[in-house]
Structure 1
Amino acid sequence: MKSQLFFVLLPLFLLLPSSAIRFDIQNNCSYTLWPAVLPYGGGRHLDSGQTWTLDFADGPRLARIWARTNCSFDSSGRGSCLTGDCAGQLNCTSYGTPPLSKAEYGLNNFAHMDYYDISLIDGFNVPLEMTPTTNGCSKSIRCSADVVGQCPADLRAPGGCQNPCTVYKTPEYCCRAGRCLPTDKSRFFKALCAEAFTYPEDDPTSTFTCPEGTNYRVVFCP
């Protein structure tokens, strides 16, 4: 269901008119991050306390926002990150490598509403919060628990807490066949971050809406 919200319907609403949208991405962590935004923003270095603002005059239709940690890049923008790495590029053109926690936005054609969420389907690396800031929409969603510190031994990964599909690659954890249900591993994440996506059909408790054209703020380490 989650994939349907953001991606299966994408061809249907590519032709719809859109409105300007702004993302303010703030690093409230005590350490440097390298946030990334796809498919529109790429990526950049963001020191503690800094904010990266992205303004889009027409759209975007969808966006994924995540933080990369412990990165090192050369003058050409090539390097690597401990978590969230996108093929060794500073300016991401591909999605990050789990584990990573992410904020997601999608313009769905149903009633011209924005859909937004925080997802732990790809695991967790940095606490985050996503908040609408315009159009009278103000429902903030947050995952600020110590997920890494409480991570089960089998999901522990350098710099984060891995998702069970990446670790086990089974239909049960990856929801690749049959009915998609919560698992013991998804319940671990859900217990710590109740409003976050923790498995692919976690929509009822984890998808939120605003009027089309709403602006958003994403804060890492809220």
Structure 2
Amino acid sequence: MAASSVVFLLLAAFVAGASAATFTVTNNCGSTVWPAATPVGGGRQLDAGGTWTFDVPAGTSSGRVWGRTGCSFNGNSGSCQTGDCAGALACTLSGQPPMTLAEFTIGGAQDSYDISVIDGFNLGMAFSCSTGVGLVCRDSNCPDAYHQSNDPDTHTCNGNSNYQVTFCP
């Protein structure tokens, strides 16, 4: 009986350590932005001043959040002038350039995150985790962003931290 209790406690500790990271996306722009997120299959309308919160499971790699602009949707389908993802409201694949990207990998002892303008720039963005450096990108010349795939601008923070993405910081 004691051995099964130890196994249960170890399993419970493992599950507790594999928690999700919470992302809070805020629209500080003067107009509506349609944020999208992959691979979590997300997207929605976010009016000026609005926020959207979602969880990303531990073990998620190559995640992205971006803002879409100039969108028109009828139900779950439509199109966007920037960042469009095959006309879907809730994106399951990455958007079309130009788009400013918040990129992340969640899980393990450390998460990693960065801002990328490799696929172009469409919106100013701030991106931070609860235990790391805050990145701010207000234009396409952003010194806090990847401009080429070999730029050394990836940052780390404690595993499964909480994140803030702000459009038009």
Deviations, residues 7-64 of structure 1 (Å, cap 9, x unaligned): xxxxxxxxxx7322100000010010100000104200000000000124x4251320
Distance in 1 of aligned mates of 2:59 and 2:32: 26
| Alignment partner of 1:114 is 2:111 | yes
- The one of 150, 154, 157 equivalent to 1:201 is 150
Q: Which residue matches 1:47?
A: 47
| Alignment partner of 1:215 is 2:159 | no
In structure 1, the gaps of 5 or more residues are 1-16, 148-191
CA contact (8 A) 2:132 2:156 kept: no
- Which protein has the bigger helix share? 1
**CA pair 125-60 structure 1, distance change in 2 beyond 3 A:** farther
Q: Cα RMSD (Å) of the superposition?
A: 1.5
Distance in 2 of aligned mates of 1:54 and 1:60: 16
CA contact (8 A) 1:40 1:60 kept: no
Q: Which residue matches 1:132?
A: 129
CA contact (8 A) 1:21 1:60 kept: no
Q: How many pairs does the alignment contain?
A: 152
* Seq. identity, %: 45
CA contact (8 A) 1:79 1:90 kept: yes
Distance in 1 of aligned mates of 2:163 and 2:107: 16
- Partner amino acid, structure 2, of 1:210: C
Q: Which residue matches 1:182?
A: none
Aligned positions of 1:2-17 closer than 5 A: none
Which structure has the bigger radius of gyration? 2
- Normalized against structure 1, the TM-score is what? 0.65
